[in-house]
Structure formats: structure tokens, C-alpha cells
């Protein structure tokens, strides 16, 4: 999982122009009148395949250079995500606008330069200049509308980092990470758009694109110590990871599975609402323990990951690119994620761990 030495591809698409173009756009649309949560969950959202293609195409483009943590490609991706959130009307919730600075330094490990988390922002200024690096989470908030629930927080997140550019990988040295996890970030962005443009969620919803998952959950670890809203107010966390292809064990196209389904009442909430989300069938892979959700779960927050990963062979290779994505399936699962997030935000009942379920 550690990044290898960087090799710059000779031709890179001008990402700054892409970000500038996406940062424009029209102001947020007025919110419609609130509707009952049940109808918002039961009906299809307005997720469009053309928009899913646009967002994923940008995040997984060669110009993002594989989004390695604390690289210029990662910075470009973060700016793109922040520009989209601003366009939707999401409120910034970082320490620098939408950006939550994550202090890291680069260290040499097995001949590679990899980021490590520092204890404070100030600590970054005391490593040699050559070892200093910049990493950020992208964090926004949509305030809750219900007087009795708005002080509770639902965290919807996905990691936007991947493996960057590595030598020795054949003709293509850019690890684009279209499925892992640009696909999940697209779902988080679409959830942010749906909630920011209405109807407003009953609970407060924090949306986050975190960095450093591939190198030790760096962004999530920093967020837990510096949350955008108090961690004790966070009642649930839904991570979204690798939804770009259908999984036959999960029911095929348009369906997803939830890690740790049997551990809490979250899976039952989705199933009782008729959402096509089933239990993870590959318990031997321990996926519940292998994504950012585990860090929140260990703090007592009911936290799971929605996925449709089918164990494809392109995992962590340069071949995980946009050409391999099943866009009709992904669009359906993004819509599914929007409706699942709506349930978490609006259901009156609090989620609970089942006996023995909390890690």
C-alpha cells in the first residue's frame, strides 16, 4: 500500500483548467419545500448518469496523477471536490474553507517516500523543509432542520486518495483509482448535492472526502481528533467505497452490500425501507475492518461501509480506470447511497450496536 517513487507521465491534461471550469457554474438552486422523509427515501433521486460520468471522469483522470496522499495530484483533486461542494451550496466545515489541513511529513520507507501523520499542525514546521508535505481532508456540512434532531450528526464519507504514480508498473504508471475510491467520492458528492439543494436533512449531515486511507487512515485519524462537529454528537457513519462495478454475490447490477451488516441495526434500517442493500458475503476478507469506518466504530459510532466490490483483478493496479466502470450500475448505486443517507439523516430512531457487534 505504500507509494513507490513518482514518475511523471509526459502528457498530462491541464487539471487547473478543469478545476477552474468546475468552480464556476450557477449559484445554488432554491430549496424546495420539505417533504416527508418516507417519500424522499422511497422515490428515485435525480442522480444522472451524465453527472456521474463527469465527476468520475475528472477524479480518475490522468491529470490527477493517481491522487497520492500529499502530492500535487491530490491537491488538484481536493480543489475539484471543494469547488463542486461550493457550487451545490454546501457550507464549508474545514479549518481553511472546505479544507481541513492534515499535518504530514514524508519519510523514507523501503526506499520510498511515504507520508506519516504528525501530532499537530505546528509540528509540520519543525521537520526539515525537504520532508514537509501538504495533505487535506475536504469537509462540508448541511445543517439539520428538525429542532429535536439537528444537534445529532450523520457523517457520510469516502477517501479520495489512491496510490499515485509508481514506476515499474508497465507502460501505464498512473494508478487512477476509478473504483478505489473515486466512485465512492462521487456518491458522497451527489449526497451533498441532494441534501444541500433540498429537502434539508433532519439531522445535521457532515460530508467528507478524506485523504490517506491507503497509507494508514491518516485523514480519518486526524478528523477523529479534530471533528467538524463534536464526535459525541455523531450518531452514525456511512463510508462508501468501490461501487463502480456490480457484484453477483451482492445481487448484481444496481445493488450494494454493507460491511458488518450483522453488527448493528443499520442494515436492518435499510432492508426494512426496501433498499437493495444486503450483507457482505465475503466475511473471510474482513472488509468491515479494512475501510475508514473501523476507526469510527472503535469510538462507539455505528459505522459501516457501502460497497459493491466484486474482487476484480484491477484492484490496486493501473487498470482500475474509467474504462472498466459499469456506469448504469454505478448510477443506480449512487442513487441508492443518496436514499440510504436520507434514512440515516431523517429516521427518528437511533442506530444501535447489537450484542457483540461493536469492535
According to the model, what pLDDT value does residue 33 have?
A: 30
Confidence of residue 30 (pLDDT cuts 50, 70, 90): very low
According to the model, what pLDDT value does residue 126 have?
A: 87
According to the model, what pLDDT value does residue 20 have?
A: 37
Per-position b or e across 83-99, b if 16+ CB within 10 A of its CB: bbbbbbbbebbbeeebb
pLDDT at residue 332 greater than cutoff 70: yes
> In the predicted model, what is the mean pLDDT of residues 160-180?
89
> In the predicted model, what is the mean pLDDT of residues 250-279?
98
- Name the 3-class secondary structure at 95: coil
pTM, to two decimals? 0.88
Per-position b or e across 8-19, b if 16+ CB within 10 A of its CB: eeeeeeebeebb
pLDDT at residue 331 greater than cutoff 50: yes
Question: Concatenated DSSP letters for 231-300?
Answer: GGGEEEEEEE---SS--GGGTSTT-EEETTGGGBSHHHHHHHTT--EEE-S-GGG-GGGSSTHHHHHTTT
| Span of 27-31, 114-118, 199-203 with lowest mean pLDDT | 27-31
According to the model, what pLDDT value does residue 169 have?
A: 61
Q: How far is CA 164 from CA 110, 120, 195, 253, 344, in A?
A: 17, 25, 31, 29, 33
Domain 45-98+135-346 in CATH 3.40.630.10? The answer is: yes
- pLDDT mean across residues, the chain: 89
Report the distance separating Cα 135 and Cα 142, nearest Å. 24
Decide if 349 contacts 37 (C-beta within 8 A). no
| Span of 17-31, 138-152, 269-283 with lowest mean pLDDT | 17-31
Q: What share of the chain in percent tops pLDDT 90? A: 80
Judged on CB neighbours under 10 Å (0-12, 13-18, 19+), 1 is exposed
Angle between helices 49-59 and 327-346 (to 10 degrees): 100
| Span of 34-48, 283-297, 301-315, 329-343 with lowest mean pLDDT | 34-48
> In the predicted model, what is the mean pLDDT of residues 188-195?
98
Decide if 72 contacts 135 (C-beta within 8 A). no
Q: How far is CA 348 from CA 148, 206, 241, 245, 345, in A?
A: 9, 18, 26, 33, 9
According to the model, what pLDDT value does residue 41 have?
A: 54
pLDDT, tens only, 99-136: 999 999 998 888 788 999 999 999 988 888 889 898 99
Confidence of residue 15 (pLDDT cuts 50, 70, 90): very low
According to the model, what pLDDT value does residue 32 have?
A: 34
Confidence of residue 14 (pLDDT cuts 50, 70, 90): very low
207: nearest Cα among 91, 115, 308: 91
Report the distance separating Cα 334 and Cα 343, nearest Å. 14
Q: How far is CA 325 from CA 52, 247, 293, in A?
A: 11, 12, 24
Report the distance separating Cα 254 and Cα 215, nearest Å. 30
Report the distance separating Cα 178 and Cα 59, nearest Å. 8
According to the model, what pLDDT value does residue 42 have?
A: 53
pLDDT at residue 8 greater than cutoff 60: no
> In the predicted model, what is the mean pLDDT of residues 318-347?
98
pLDDT, tens only, 234-260: 999 999 999 999 999 999 999 999 999
Amino acid at each position: 500500500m505504500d507509494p513507490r517513487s513518482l514518475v511523471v507521465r509526459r502528457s498530462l491534461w491541464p487539471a487547473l483548467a478543469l478545476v477552474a471550469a468546475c468552480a464556476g457554474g450557477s449559484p445554488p438552486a432554491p430549496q424546495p419545500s420539505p417533504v416527508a422523509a418516507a417519500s424522499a427515501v422511497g422515490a428515485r433521486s435525480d442522480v444522472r448518469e451524465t453527472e456521474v460520468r463527469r465527476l468520475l471522469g475528472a477524479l480518475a483522470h490522468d491529470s490527477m496523477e493517481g491522487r497520492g496522499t500529499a502530492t500535487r495530484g491530490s491537491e488538484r483533486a481536493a480543489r475539484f471536490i471543494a469547488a463542486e461542494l461550493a457550487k451545490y451550496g454546501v457550507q464549508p466545515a474545514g479549518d481553511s474553507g472546505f479544507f481541513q489541513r492534515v499535518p504530514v511529513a514524508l519519510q523514507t520507507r523501503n526506499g520510498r517516500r511515504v507520508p506519516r501523520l504528525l501530532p499537530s499542525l505546528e509540528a509540520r514546521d519543525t521537520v526539515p523543509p525537504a520532508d514537509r508535505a501538504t495533505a487535506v481532508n475536504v469537509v462540508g456540512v448541511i445543517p439539520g432542520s428538525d429542532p429535536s434532531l439537528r444537534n445529532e450528526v450523520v457523517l457520510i464519507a469516502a477517501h479520495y486518495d489512491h496510490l499515485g504514480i509508481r514506476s515499474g508498473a508497465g507502460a501505464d504508471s498512473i494508478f487512477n483509482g476509478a473504483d478505489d475510491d473515486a466512485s465512492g467520492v462521487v456518491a458522497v458528492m451527489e449526497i451533498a448535492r441532494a441534501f444541500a439543494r433540498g429537502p434539508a436533512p433532519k439531522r445535521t449531515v457532515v460530508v467528507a472526502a478524506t485523504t490517506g486511507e491507503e497509507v494508514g487512515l491518516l485523514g480519518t485519524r486526524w478528523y477523529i481528533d479534530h471533528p467538524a462537529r463534536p464526535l459525541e454528537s455523531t450518531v452514525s457513519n456511512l463510508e462508501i467505497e468501490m461501487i463502480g462495478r456490480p457484484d453477483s454475490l451482492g445481487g448484481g447490477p444496481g445493488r450494494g452490500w454493507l460491511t458488518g451488516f450483522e453488527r448493528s441495526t443499520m442494515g436492518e434500517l435499510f432492508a426494512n425501507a426496501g433498499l437493495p442493500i444486503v450483507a457482505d458475503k465475503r466475511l473471510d476478507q474482513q472488509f468491515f475492518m479494512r475501510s475508514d469506518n473501523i476507526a469510527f466504530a472503535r469510538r462507539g459510532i455505528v459505522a459501516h461501509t457501502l460497497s459493491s466490490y466484486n474482487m476484480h483483478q484491477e484492484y490496486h493496479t493501473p487498470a482500475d480506470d474509467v474504462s472498466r466502470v459499469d456506469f448504469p450500475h454505478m448510477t443506480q448505486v449512487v442513487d441508492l447511497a443518496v436514499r440510504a443517507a436520507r434514512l440515516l439523516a431523517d429516521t427518528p430512531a437511533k442506530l444501535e450496536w447489537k450484542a457483540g457487534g461493536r469492535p
